């Protein structure tokens, strides 16, 4: 099809996903009052299609159906067709995904929902093939049936609308009463999360497997709290299996979205910014907890991938990379045995391929995904070479294959910048800068924080998305919460009070715009957001931490750092409202459990009195950040105005540390060794 034969109303959008559909024969509209008014005036049902740019099946449905002129005619004649990028409009995605799951028992993308002109859904599904296949009805049949039902059974559709709205409203009720927050919740959650551990392959449950970054972060906290070796074994096996599997890009760093199989070998090849933000931090924490340098390498390779592939010249982080390149899923990442031989030579290729689990037959559709199925020491012994020689071949081979791969057509990249995902990523760079002594990461964190505040925040309004010089869409709760947490982390990486002031300003806005004083918790959308059929609240942690769990954790950190008690009640209320559910369904609340752990374990408030740039101060900071101590906040400076630093003198003119809990402080410490012992102590 000539891509310029048709142009629809998506041509003026900035979302790469919407622009991908701008030349479909379907008369697509972006979500907005113009399209909704058109549906009302024509009394036509709305066909709402929601997806995102790196979604493989979204691309498939476009090729099969939305580029098909006959199917497009059916859509145009019978519906007002609206296309939504779920990453720009997570509010619409949350509302209608809840309906899809309610009606069909499952969800996914592309999401296909048929609405009345008043936005109430009456039929829905996900991907539909163009012809009947795999037990799914043909999309053209669905279109004809839904159009006929709308004309002939309108009264029944309108009658069901009230039931659907009522069910959506019930989803906001977390639990009936506030629960007392006790350590028992943490203990029972540990048991619940580990109950479906895969002791052979790591991770939890069976295929498909998603990287359980937040669950692992919680387990590391439990390991610190209890010292349980069995928990450490779960963490180690899972991290090693993921890092050695095909889900991790063995040449370029960074993690793919999920594994199709239980062994972490065959990924769904798209790479999402949020996965790499969360996983780089998980591996960093694991390095601090265990001292295993392999975890440090995985964390750094993931962050370096983001620097190389996912950072804009302005300092924002891009959203994702596609699964597909040149129209084929995973094509960019796959290798044949002969490919490797032609680059490395026969002898080196033989050992390289054995180490990375590659065969002439291939392990994925006749080609190979690189993984590390067995340790280097075993491969060296089985092939009668020294470990040193094998290491040389591996390192040299990786460089050569990476260079060769860079000449391939790269997967498409979604270059919109999302505030929430950037907030998660800036946390990772800031924390890695501290723990690994990486000044380059610190500069990247500061650059990104500057970008977000200068480009995404105007006249008291935080925006969701930025692309091509345009900031768009009101920020959602997760945008505020993730950016607050990110700014707190940037403060701890720089000790510039500006970042705390900005975080407090955003927190004030979040409370005024999103807090529910009657039911408790924060709404997904702000009070000045457009009117939709439902104003959801998000408590469950999914692929990303929920807005409420992130807000709870961020406000707790802000409370402890600033000493301003006004932030604590909001966080405590969220935790109390979800306490019962955390006990019943801990796997659905891993980030909320991390916030609860921070709250109940009474974090260490570490005040270091000294100029952050002085060598003596840096020595003390080095000890603080090189130790795994997840429940801590750190303030540093002289006369910075922070309560935690107030009335704390330097001893003998030396940089001096004070470790406090609930603002009651221990004796001053000037020795690096003594400080390390104090930080490590329970």
Q: Please say if the pLDDT value at position 2 is more than 50.
A: yes
- Kindly provide the b/e burial profile for residues 193-217, where b requires at least 16 CB atoms within 10 angstroms of the residue's own CB: bbeebbeebbbbeeeebbbbbbbbb
Coil/strand/helix, residue 537:
strand
Whether the bond between 626 and the residue before it is cis, its omega within 30 degrees of 0, is no
Q: What is the pLDDT of residues 441-479, one digit of tens each?
A: 999 999 999 999 999 999 889 999 999 999 999 999 999
Q: What percent of the chain has pLDDT over 90?
A: 89
Mean pLDDT of all residues in 178-204: 93
Mean pLDDT of all residues in 118-145: 93
pLDDT score for 256: 98
Q: Which of 507, 490, 508 is nearest to 498 (CA)?
A: 490
Which DSSP helix (H) or strand (E) runs through 446?
helix 439-455
d(CA 157, CA 312): 47
Order of strands across the sheet that contains 111-115? 28-30, 80-85, 46-51, 111-115, 121-125
| Domain 9-170 is found in CATH 3.30.450.40 | no
d(CA 673, CA 350): 48
Torsion of CA 349, 350, 356, 359, to 10 degrees: 110
**Which residues partner with 664 through β-bridges?**
661
pLDDT score for 69: 96
- Kindly provide the b/e burial profile for residues 148-186, where b requires at least 16 CB atoms within 10 angstroms of the residue's own CB: ebbeeeeeebeeebeebeeebeebbebeeebbebeeebb
The band of 654, judged by pLDDT with boundaries at 50, 70 and 90, is very high
Please state, rounded to an integer, the average pLDDT across all residues of the chain. 95
d(CA 243, CA 280): 11
| CA triple 451-457-458, angle to 5 deg | 125
Is this model's pTM higher than 0.85 or not?
Answer: yes
The band of 174, judged by pLDDT with boundaries at 50, 70 and 90, is low
Q: What percent of the chain has pLDDT over 70?
A: 98
Query: Maximum CA pair distance of the chain?
Result: 87
């Amino acid at each position: 099809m000539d891509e310029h034969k048709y142009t629809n109303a998506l041509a003026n959008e900035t979302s790469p996903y919407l622009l991908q559909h701008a030349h479909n024969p379907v008369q697509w509209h972006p979500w907005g009052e113009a399209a909704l008014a058109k549906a009302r005036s024509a009394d036509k049902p709305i066909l709402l299609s929601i997806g995102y740019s790196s979604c493989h099946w979204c691309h498939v449905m476009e090729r099969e159906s939305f580029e098909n002129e006959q199917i497009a005619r059916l859509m145009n004649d019978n519906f007002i067709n609206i296309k939504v990028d779920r990453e720009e409009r997570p509010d619409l995605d949350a509302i209608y995904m809840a309906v899809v799951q309610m009606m069909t028992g499952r969800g996914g993308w592309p999401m296909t929902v048929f609405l009345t002109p008043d936005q109430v859904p009456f039929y829905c599904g996900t991907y539909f093939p163009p012809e009947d296949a795999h037990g799914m009805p043909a999309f053209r049949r669905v279109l004809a049936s839904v159009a006929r039902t709308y004309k002939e059974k309108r009264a029944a559709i309108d009658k069901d609308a009230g039931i659907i709205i009522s069910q959506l409203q019930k989803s906001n009720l977390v639990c009936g009463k506030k629960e007392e927050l006790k350590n028992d919740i943490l203990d029972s959650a540990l048991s619940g999360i580990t109950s479906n551990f895969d002791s052979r392959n790591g991770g939890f449950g069976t295929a498909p497997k998603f990287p359980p970054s937040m669950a692992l972060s919680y387990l590391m906290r439990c390991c610190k709290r209890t010292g349980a070796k069995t928990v450490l074994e779960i963490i180690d096996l899972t991290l090693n299996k993921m890092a050695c599997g095909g889900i991790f890009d063995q040449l370029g760093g960074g993690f793919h979205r999920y594994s199709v199989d239980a062994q972490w070998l065959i990924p769904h090849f798209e790479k999402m910014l949020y996965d790499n933000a969360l996983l780089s931090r998980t591996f960093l924490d694991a390095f601090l907890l265990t001292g295993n340098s392999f975890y440090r390498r995985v964390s750094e390779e993931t962050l370096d991938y983001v620097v190389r592939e996912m950072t804009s010249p302005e300092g924002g982080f891009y959203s994702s990379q596609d699964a597909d390149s040149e129209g084929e899923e995973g094509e960019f990442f796959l290798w044949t045995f002969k490919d490797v031989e032609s680059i490395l030579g026969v002898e080196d290729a033989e050992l390289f391929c054995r180490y990375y689990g590659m065969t002439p037959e291939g392990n994925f559709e006749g080609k190979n995904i690189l993984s590390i199925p067995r340790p280097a020491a075993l491969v060296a012994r089985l092939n009668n070479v020294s470990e040193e020689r094998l290491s040389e071949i591996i390192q040299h081979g990786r460089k050569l294959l990476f260079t060769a791969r860079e000449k391939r057509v790269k997967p498409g990249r979604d270059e919109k910048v999302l505030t929430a995902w950037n907030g998660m990523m800036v946390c990772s760079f800031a924390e890695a800068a501290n723990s690994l002594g990486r000044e380059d990461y610190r500069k990247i964190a500061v650059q990104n924080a500057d970008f977000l505040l200068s480009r995404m925040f105007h006249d008291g309004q935080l925006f969701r998305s930025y692309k091509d010089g345009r900031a768009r869409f009101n920020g959602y709760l997760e945008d505020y919460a993730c950016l607050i947490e990110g700014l707190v982390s940037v403060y701890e990486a720089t000790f510039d009070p500006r970042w705390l002031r900005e975080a407090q300003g955003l927190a004030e806005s979040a409370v005024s715009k999103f807090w529910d004083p009657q039911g408790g918790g924060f709404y997904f959308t702000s009070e000045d957001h457009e009117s939709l059929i439902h104003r959801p609240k998000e408590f469950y942690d999914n692929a990303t931490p929920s807005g409420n769990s992130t807000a709870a954790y961020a406000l707790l950190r802000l409370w402890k750092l600033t000493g301003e008690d006004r932030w604590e009640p909001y966080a405590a209320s969220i935790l109390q409202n979800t306490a019962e559910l955390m006990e019943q369904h801990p796997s659905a609340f891993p980030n909320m459990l991390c916030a609860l752990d921070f709250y109940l374990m009474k974090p260490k408030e570490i005040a270091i009195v000294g100029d952050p740039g002085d060598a003596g101060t840096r020595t003390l900071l080095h000890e603080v950040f090189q130790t795994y101590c997840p429940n801590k906040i750190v303030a540093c400076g002289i006369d910075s105005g922070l309560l935690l630093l107030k009335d704390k003198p330097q001893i003998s003119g030396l940089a001096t540390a004070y470790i406090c809990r609930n603002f009651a402080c221990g004796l001053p410490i000037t020795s690096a060794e003594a400080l390390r012992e104090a930080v490590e102590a329970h």
